[in-house]
A and B are shown apart, each in its own frame.
Chain A
Amino acid sequence: MSSSTSNSEPLRLFGRALLGAGVVGMLLVCAFHNGHHASVIDYHGAVAAKEARLAALPSPKVVIIGGSNATFGMDSEALEQALCRPVVNMTIHANLGVEFMVNEVKGHLGPDDLVIASFEYSAFREAIRDNDVHVLTVDRAPGAIRALPWYRRPRVIADVAILRLQAAWKELLGERKGEGQERVYRADGFNDRGDMVAHIGLPQRGPEKQQPVEYKSPVFGDDFLPLAQELVDSAAVHQAQVVFVWPCVAASSRRPDVEDVVARRMAQAGHPLLGDPSAYVFPDTAFHDTHYHLRGAGRRLRTEQLIRDLCSNPSVNCCLSE
């Protein structure tokens, strides 16, 4: 039995569909260059400045990677003084995923660089993320596309173009008037080293305005360790060093059972986390809007604790005299 198609009809239909797709593609190219951003909030635009600083800093340097616990809760200037190396804080959002974070820095490491990896607990469970944070980041910092695997790039670019088209449409209808910049989540809320500082000094929020940490099972996924190993191996090739540190967390969101699993799995893989997790637990009042985002005083305490842990580790070159 044969069901042959000897003619070129399917190819002709395919060609016409391709023509239609080409029209849509042209439309999206125009949308990509229409001058509107996907969101009026430019927080993710800070990635461009962080990447520029990372590329410009000579070795030895300190590179902080991880989620927003390190964005809000690290004092890079204090770290710089303690470690006698310039610091770049690359962290911005946990939803970028460990894969993105590792890809972003691994090509920029050099001799005696120190990578401080401070991941939220969700990162151990889900190290590879595929969500709108990538789209919003690429929208504001197009160079960030390089930190994504090649096969995900076309979709992210298409999504950026679609969101920009929708933004232009909303602008045309006058529906963007109500949208405004955030007080804290903005690109100029960061200092030169990449720390978020716009929240420092703001009054304390009530517990109802703080987002607790959300835990899901399993605590530890399959993707994290290969990526952690990739980072460590890449650092070793360039004579750099990686230390994994505990994220800061609010007391009411603390889960010792989760800490135990993370500590055990990381130690088994040869990447023990530095210090004691209980030393990075702070009262809820020390946090801003989530149970990962420290306010000014907590940020200072957390950094001091981190410096103590780093400097008590013989493998870390520390110039701070106790």
Chain B
Amino acid sequence: MLFPSFAFLVFLPVVFLLYWYAANRDLRLQNLFILLASYVFYGWWDARFLALLIGSSLLDFLLALAIDRSHPGRRKKTLLVLSLVANLGVLALFKYFNFFREGLEGLMLGLGMRPDLPTLDLILPIGISFYTFQSLSYTIDVYRGRLKATPRPVEFLAFVSLFPQLVAGPIERAVDLLPQFQAPRRFDRAQATDGLRQMLWGFFKKMVIADGCGPIVDRIFDSPVDSTPGLTLFFGAFFFTFQIYGDFSGYSDIAIGCARLFGFRLSRNFAYPYFSRDIPEFWRRWHISLSSWFRDNVYMPLGGWRNKLGRFRNIMITFAVSGLWHGANWTFVTWGLLHGAYYLPTILRDDRARRDDPSLRDLPAIAVTFLLVVLAWVFFRAPGVAQALAYLKYMLLHAALHPGIVLYWMKQHVTWLIVAMVLLEWKSRQRPHALALLPRSPVFRWAIYTFITLLILLYMDVQTTHEFIYFQF
């Protein structure tokens, strides 16, 4: 089920009322209810993959119990490895089988062999990368002793499949989210009201900004690069920068806001990443739940920052794996490596991570970081590395061609809507979301809600279903 869909418009209020008024007598009943609602939400897309979700969750549930009961040693480690192999194996099968097959085939051809390797034509189960990582984080946390394994399967299954964040995150740590299924949840009006506001802002970013940029981006990226003005190519990358931001951060805002309606606190996933002053800061603000997952489960086990040389290597590996997580294509790996390369010089600088909020004084640094990020997104969006390189080449070579085209792109409604979004988010950059900073007067607040809703209605695309970009990951 998509958030911006008629089905969700009916689903949400029904589940909300039943959750607080019919299933609220007992915590276990409430957990069971949210689990069933989550399965309906997921099964709406394709019920066949529910079995995979339930199967992989149950396996981790049982393995975590066994890990918890084992003494430190080989058996415990074997159980963890079993969990890793099972989860990553499913992921590899559905997502990476053909990618690795092609790589192996190329290698064998290079060695003069004639490979005849099988291909798999599998549909990628929606959200598999997200729920697999979330489930994995549980067994890892239990293995490391950060968490006791829960003996209640409903609790754990509900943790893995909680519908607001099931298909595109935020990827929650078991230590953060699982305890929320174990303690009574009480309705908090302030939290729920702000959750609704956050959802409204998320819908604006998804339905107005991301879906508004989408067709323009498709048109520009599908056009022949050698005959397209460089500035148009730049605007293509610029619009994609906001498409992916609107799409993914919009989804996260809807997910977090929606979870708040049910008394859950999800972790923050985006903290105005395009206001970052350098690349490390960008990665502390973009897809925070994934970045921290990779930091804790890939970068740190690799050795983290023990010495500079090791740190270089570990950063590049982490970024490459993070790129690969996004999809079975060299474009994503290149995108990851490029960010890794952006990151490396900041290690030499060796200054402390910036924790303060950006101000107008930081605009030059913000602009440079933003430009680097825009260039990297070209690899993310292009169908292949060669096409991305050609895109960047002609963007520079044809930069002076038809300068007047800037006016055309500036006149697009979505350009001004992006400007409005950026200004509002700048104003709210110390808050968790842009609508958290609203006037106290209810009249003004309602006027703003109505205005944003009106913008959504005026610019939404009712004739095309736009899935979230990150659903494919």
By the criterion CB–CB under 8 Å, are A3 and B192 in contact? no
Given contacts A13-B193, A169-B458, contact A5 B20 (CB under 8 A): yes
Of chain A, the residue at the smallest CB distance from B460 is: A162
By the criterion CB–CB under 8 Å, are A10 and B450 in contact? no
By the criterion CB–CB under 8 Å, are A165 and B458 in contact? yes
B463 within 8 Å of A (CB atoms): yes
Residues of B within 8 A of A210 (CB): none
By the criterion CB–CB under 8 Å, are B457 and A163 in contact? no
Query: How far is the CB of B413 from the nearest CB of chain A, in Å?
Result: 9
By the criterion CB–CB under 8 Å, are B462 and A162 in contact? yes
Within 8 A of A (CB), among B412-465: 446, 449-450, 453-454, 457-460, 462-464
By the criterion CB–CB under 8 Å, are A4 and B449 in contact? no
Q: Which of B21, B457, B459 contacts A27 (CB 8 A)?
A: B457
Residues of A within 8 A of B13 (CB): 14, 17
Q: Which of B263, B458, B459 has the most A CB atoms < 10 Å from its CB? A: B458
Query: How far is the CB of A127 from the nearest CB of chain B, in Å?
Result: 19
By the criterion CB–CB under 8 Å, are A23 and B450 in contact? yes
Given contacts A1-B27, A10-B17, contact A165 B457 (CB under 8 A): yes
Proximity string of chain B (17-50) to chain A, C-beta cutoff 8 Å, 1 when within and 0 when not: 1001100111110100000000000000000000
Which of A51-59, A104-112, A151-159 contacts its partner?
Answer: A151-159
By the criterion CB–CB under 8 Å, are A1 and B462 in contact? no
By the criterion CB–CB under 8 Å, are B16 and A10 in contact? yes
Proximity string of chain B (157-186) to chain A, C-beta cutoff 8 Å, 1 when within and 0 when not: 000000000000000000000000001111
Residues of B within 8 A of A285 (CB): none
Residues of B within 8 A of A159 (CB): 462
Residues of B within 8 A of A132 (CB): 462-464
Residues of A within 8 A of B27 (CB): 1-3
Query: How far is the CB of B31 from the nearest CB of chain A, in Å?
Result: 9
CA of A132 to CA of B462 in the docked complex: distance in angstroms? 8
Q: Which of A10, A135, A166 has the most B CB atoms < 10 Å from its CB? A: A10
By the criterion CB–CB under 8 Å, are A13 and B457 in contact? no
Residues of B within 8 A of A14 (CB): 13, 16-17
Of chain A, the residue at the smallest CB distance from B184 is: A3
Query: How far is the CB of B35 from the nearest CB of chain A, in Å?
Result: 15
By the criterion CB–CB under 8 Å, are B6 and A155 in contact? yes
Q: Which of B16, B449, B457, B459 contacts A20 (CB 8 A)?
A: B449
Proximity string of chain A (152-181) to chain B, C-beta cutoff 8 Å, 1 when within and 0 when not: 001100110011011001000000000000
Residues of B within 8 A of A5 (CB): 20-21, 24, 186-187
Query: How far is the CB of A129 from the nearest CB of chain B, in Å?
Result: 13
Residues of B within 8 A of A9 (CB): 187, 189, 192
Q: Which of A1, A16, A158, A166 contacts B458 (CB 8 A)?
A: A166
Query: How far is the CB of B199 from the nearest CB of chain A, in Å?
Result: 10
CA of A3 to CA of B185 in the docked complex: distance in angstroms? 5
Within 8 A of A (CB), among B208-255: none
A24 within 8 Å of B (CB atoms): yes
Residues of B within 8 A of A11 (CB): 17, 21
B interface residues, tally (CB under 8 Å) = 34
B338 within 8 Å of A (CB atoms): no
B288 within 8 Å of A (CB atoms): no
By the criterion CB–CB under 8 Å, are B26 and A154 in contact? no
B196 within 8 Å of A (CB atoms): yes
Q: Which of B21, B26, B27, B187 has the most A CB atoms < 10 Å from its CB? A: B187
CA of A5 to CA of B28 in the docked complex: distance in angstroms? 15
CA of A132 to CA of B183 in the docked complex: distance in angstroms? 46
Given contacts A9-B189, A13-B193, A14-B16, contact A3 B458 (CB under 8 A): no
Of chain B, the residue at the smallest CB distance from A170 is: B458
Residues of B within 8 A of A4 (CB): 24-25, 184
CA of A223 to CA of B37 in the docked complex: distance in angstroms? 27
Within 8 A of B (CB), among A1-59: 1-5, 7, 9-14, 16-17, 20, 23-24, 27-28, 31
Given contacts A2-B184, A5-B24, contact A158 B192 (CB under 8 A): no
Given contacts A4-B25, A135-B463, contact A10 B457 (CB under 8 A): no
Residues of B within 8 A of A1 (CB): 26-28, 183-184
Residues of A within 8 A of B28 (CB): 1
Q: Which of A2, A31, A135 contacts B26 (CB 8 A)?
A: A2
Of chain A, the residue at the smallest CB distance from B449 is: A20
Query: How far is the CB of B456 from the nearest CB of chain A, in Å?
Result: 9
By the criterion CB–CB under 8 Å, are A13 and B449 in contact? no
Residues of A within 8 A of B25 (CB): 2, 4
Proximity string of chain A (125-159) to chain B, C-beta cutoff 8 Å, 1 when within and 0 when not: 00000001001000000000000000000110011
Residues of A within 8 A of B24 (CB): 3-5
Residues of A within 8 A of B462 (CB): 132, 135, 159, 162-163
Additional 20 contacts, C-beta under 8 A, given A12-B189, A20-B450, A154-B6 = A3-B183, A3-B185, A4-B24, A5-B186, A7-B187, A11-B17, A11-B21, A13-B189, A20-B446, A23-B453, A24-B457, A27-B457, A31-B457, A135-B463, A162-B460, A162-B462, A163-B462, A165-B457, A165-B458, A169-B458
Contact residues of B with A, CB < 8 Å? 6, 13, 16-17, 20-21, 24-28, 30, 183-187, 189, 192-193, 196, 263, 446, 449-450, 453-454, 457-460, 462-464
Please name the 9 residue pairs, one residue from A and one from B, whose CB atoms are nearest each other, closest first. A3-B184, A132-B463, A10-B20, A155-B6, A1-B27, A159-B462, A3-B27, A3-B185, A5-B187
> What would be 29 A-B contacts, judged by CB atoms less than 8 Å apart?
A1-B26, A1-B27, A1-B183, A2-B25, A2-B26, A2-B184, A3-B263, A4-B24, A4-B184, A11-B17, A12-B189, A13-B189, A13-B196, A14-B16, A14-B17, A17-B13, A17-B196, A20-B446, A20-B449, A20-B450, A20-B453, A24-B457, A31-B457, A155-B6, A158-B6, A159-B462, A162-B457, A165-B458, A166-B457
